[in-house]
């Protein structure tokens, strides 16, 4: 599953304030928090975070690999998401009837695939040779398949009661999820360490086909999917938020099993993995088993960070997607990453302008002018480990055009630049932020997601506390200032769906 995981920034923080959360209460939070969340790092750099919660005899397991489509370069776009899929294909033990024999066929298969693709790429390809290689490939693929135990990883996990075995890839991360009855802790350790220690990327070429279908389903057959792809490609000229998580079709058609092996080696080592376990477990037990099962994975260097930064923009950008569909408007302005303090004020701005029925856009575009049936805004788009976008959406009402909506959005933005926001609006944002955190913390799985996010992206869950303080300290002047600083035309990209006749 490709999911744009937009984890709420404040994440973890309120972990503790179970007793009384009001806007003013919280100072004692930090110590209680540190007491509840336990962290242990293995010698190889892999980090385990545990939050014990004994309400029900279950546990959520969340493996966060600090690698997503933003780490990809030309030619291998979509490869992080491919690795999300390939993680379910098993290991030297799981998913095979005879690994030694299978392994030989897989190597032959890769070699033939390579020859086949090289022949195709020649200026004057030998058609007969291509046919021969293709036949050989199909034959070897069948042979390899004979050794495969179909979906054995899923079988084993689900049979032990996994209620939500899944994985997600975003621009920033690849995340693997399990929900098990809590007495399956060691089983999870055995299964998961095995697939990170000895992964086998079998059935690779068929899975690539599945992913191409996923691209068609999620992006190519949906007008808004097409718009988002082109919009991001225009908004980011250099930084890899430029391309969609699922990758370009031609890359999906060309990425090889060896590419995947190399990418795995580079990015899915223990120093790049953070695990959160939330539920009816004992932290000490988790750490003991983590040492036993995961410390055997050889350490490697932490991968090099993404090099490319989004350069200066020379002007406003505008992209139009022509589709057999009704109009749609998307406006984005560049904003900093999650760690930057200004992001808090921009979050407030997005909330005040476009979240909730009393927000300015809904009030004006939908209720008063009736030029849109929906209008909203959001910060941290598409992810927020790197500088990203604050975006505004409008769905024009029947018979109305995007242009009218754009004018009204601009007016609302200008008003804030001139007149700032009200105290009521600021209160709304602050309370909503806290309510959202509380809502997310009710589930083990979301809690596990928050813990890993805060640790990896913010640099520790205590950093989240600082963010809460930043939110509490926000003033109307801060919001006004960032509106003036970031919501300017040279910083803007406009995307539209224009109906095809």
Partner 1 sequence: MKKENVANKIFTGLLLLAFFLGTAYGQKGPKDKFVFGPLNPIKMPKVEKAELPNGLKLFLVEDHEFPTIDLWAMVRTGSVFEPIGKIGLASITGQVLRTGGTKTKTGDQIDKELDTLAASVSTAVGTTSGYFSVSVLKEDFDKALSILADILTEPAFSDDKIELAKLQQKTNISRRNDNISSITNREFGKLMYGKDSPYARHTEYATIDAISRQDIIDFYNTYLHPNNTSIAVWGDFKSADMVNKIKTALAKWKKGVLSTQPWPKVSYDYKYTVNFIDKPDVNQSNIMLGHIGGLMNNPDYPALNIMNFILSFERMFKRIRTDEGLAYSVWGDYGASYIYPGTFSCGAQTKSQSTVYAIDIMLKELKKITEQEVSDEELAKAKDGYLNSYVFNFESKSQIVNRLMTYAYYGYPLDFTERLKAGVEKVSKADVLRVAKKYLQPDKVQILVVGKKEDFDKPLSTLGAVNVIDITIPAPKK
Binding mask 261-300 for partner 1 (x = CB under 8 A): -------------------x-----------xx--x----
Give the shortest CB-458-to-partner 1 separation in angstroms: 22
Select from 359, 377, 379, 408 the one that contacts partner 1 (CB under 8 A): 359
Select from 162, 244, 384, 478 the one that contacts partner 1 (CB under 8 A): 162
Closest CA relative to residue 380, chosen from 329, 420, 345, 425: 345
Select from 28, 43, 54, 73 the one that contacts partner 1 (CB under 8 A): 54
Q: Answer yes or no whether residue 19 interacts with partner 1 by CB under 8 A.
A: yes
The rounded radius of gyration (Å) of the Cα atoms in the chain is: 25
Give 107 or 427: the residue with its C-beta nearer to partner 1: 427
Give 133 or 441: the residue with its C-beta nearer to partner 1: 441
Binding mask 218-257 for partner 1 (x = CB under 8 A): --xxxx----------------------------------
Q: Which of residues 445-484 bind partner 1 (CB under 8 A)?
A: none
Give 30 or 187: the residue with its C-beta nearer to partner 1: 187
User: Using CB under 8 A, which of the segments 35-43, 125-133, 408-416, 440-448 binds partner 1?
Assistant: 440-448
Question: How far is the C-alpha of 183 from the C-alpha of 193, rounded, in Å?
Answer: 17
Give the shortest CB-353-to-partner 1 separation in angstroms: 13
C-alpha distances in Å from residue 207, one per residue of 85, 86, 89, 226, 284? 8, 8, 9, 23, 38
Select from 184, 242, 360, 480 the one that contacts partner 1 (CB under 8 A): 184
- Enumerate residues 6+ apart whose C-beta is below 8 A from 436: 8, 10
C-alpha distances in Å from residue 414, one per residue of 224, 256, 298, 386? 27, 50, 55, 27
Select from 182, 388, 467, 493 the one that contacts partner 1 (CB under 8 A): 182
Question: How far is the C-alpha of 180 from the C-alpha of 57, rounded, in Å?
Answer: 9
Select from 52, 119, 134, 214 the one that contacts partner 1 (CB under 8 A): 214
Select from 62, 334, 428, 492 the one that contacts partner 1 (CB under 8 A): 428
Select from 367, 459, 489, 490 the one that contacts partner 1 (CB under 8 A): 367
Question: How far is the C-alpha of 78 from the C-alpha of 227, rounded, in Å?
Answer: 18
How many positions of this chain bind partner 1 (CB under 8 A)? 88
C-alpha distances in Å from residue 185, one per residue of 25, 89, 405? 36, 21, 53
What DSSP designation does 304 have? P
Select from 3, 154, 339, 342 the one that contacts partner 1 (CB under 8 A): 154
Q: CB of 391 within 8 A of CB of 378?
A: yes
Q: Which of residues 387-406 bind partner 1 (CB under 8 A)?
A: 395-398
Question: How far is the C-alpha of 76 from the C-alpha of 246, rounded, in Å?
Answer: 11
The sign one gets for the Cα dihedral 483, 489, 493, 498 is positive
Q: Where are the alpha helices (DSSP H) in 146-248?
A: 152-159, 185-197, 204-215, 223-235
Select from 253, 358, 407, 490 the one that contacts partner 1 (CB under 8 A): 358
Q: Which of residues 329-348 bind partner 1 (CB under 8 A)?
A: none
* Strand ranges in 324-371 using DSSP code E only, listed in sequence order: 328-335
Give 277 or 457: the residue with its C-beta nearer to partner 1: 277
281 three-state secondary structure: coil
Q: Which of residues 34-53 bind partner 1 (CB under 8 A)?
A: none
Question: How far is the C-alpha of 36 from the C-alpha of 345, rounded, in Å?
Answer: 29
Q: Which of residues 93-122 bind partner 1 (CB under 8 A)?
A: 93-94
Select from 138, 308, 427, 490 the one that contacts partner 1 (CB under 8 A): 427
Q: Answer yes or no whether residue 145 interacts with partner 1 by CB under 8 A.
A: yes
């Amino acid at each position: 599953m490709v999911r744009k995981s937009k984890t709420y920034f404040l994440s973890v923080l309120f972990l503790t304030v179970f007793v009384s959360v009001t806007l003013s209460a919280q100072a004692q939070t930090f110590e209680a928090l540190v007491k509840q969340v336990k962290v242990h790092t293995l010698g190889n750099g892999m980090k385990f975070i545990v939050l014990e919660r004994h309400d029900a005899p279950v546990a959520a397991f969340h493996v966060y690999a600090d690698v997503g489509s933003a780490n990809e370069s030309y030619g291998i776009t979509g490869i992080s998401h491919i690795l999300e899929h390939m993680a379910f294909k098993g290991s030297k033990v799981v998913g095979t009837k005879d690994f030694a024999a299978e392994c030989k066929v897989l190597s032959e298969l890769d070699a033939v695939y390579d020859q086949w693709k090289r022949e195709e790429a020649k200026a004057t390809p030998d058609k007969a040779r291509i046919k021969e290689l293709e036949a050989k490939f199909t034959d070897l693929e069948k042979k390899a398949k004979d050794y495969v135990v179909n979906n054995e990883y899923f079988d084993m996990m689900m049979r032990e009661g996994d209620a939500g075995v899944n994985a997600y890839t975003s621009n920033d991360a690849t995340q693997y999820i399990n929900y098990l009855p809590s007495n399956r802790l060691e089983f999870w350790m055995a299964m998961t360490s095995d697939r990170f220690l000895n992964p086998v990327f079998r059935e690779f070429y068929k899975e690539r086909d599945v992913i191409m279908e996923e691209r068609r389903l999620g992006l190519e057959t949906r007008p808004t999917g097409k718009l988002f792809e082109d919009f991001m490609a225009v908004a980011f000229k250099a930084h890899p938020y430029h391309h969609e998580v699922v990758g370009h079709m031609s890359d999906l058609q060309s990425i090889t099993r060896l590419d995947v092996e190399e990418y795995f080696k580079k990015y899915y080592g223990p120093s790049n993995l953070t695990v959160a376990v939330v539920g009816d477990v004992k932290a000490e037990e988790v750490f003991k088993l983590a040492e036993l099962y995961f410390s055997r994975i050889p350490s490697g260097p932490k991968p090099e960070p993404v090099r490319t930064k989004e350069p200066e923009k020379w002007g406003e950008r505008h992209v139009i997607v022509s589709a057999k569909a009704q109009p749609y408007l998307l406006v984005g302005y560049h904003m900093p990453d999650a760690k930057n303090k200004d992001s808090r004020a921009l979050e407030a701005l997005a909330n005040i302008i476009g979240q909730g029925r009393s927000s300015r856009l809904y009030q004006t575009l939908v209720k008063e002018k009736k030029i849109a049936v929906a209008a909203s805004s959001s910060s941290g788009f598409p992810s927020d480990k790197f500088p990203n976008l604050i975006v505004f959406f409008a769905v024009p009402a029947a018979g109305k055009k995007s242009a009218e909506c754009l004018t009204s959005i601009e007016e609302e933005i200008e008003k804030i630049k001139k007149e700032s926001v009200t105290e009521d609006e600021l209160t709304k944002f602050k309370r909503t932020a806290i309510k959202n955190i509380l809502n997310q913390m009710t589930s083990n799985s979301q809690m596990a997601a928050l813990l890993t996010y805060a640790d990896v992206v913010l640099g520790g869950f205590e950093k989240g506390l600082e963010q809460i303080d930043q939110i509490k300290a926000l003033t109307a002047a801060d919001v006004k200032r960032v509106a003036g600083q970031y919501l300017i035309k040279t910083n803007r990209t406009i995307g539209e769906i224009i109906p095809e006749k």
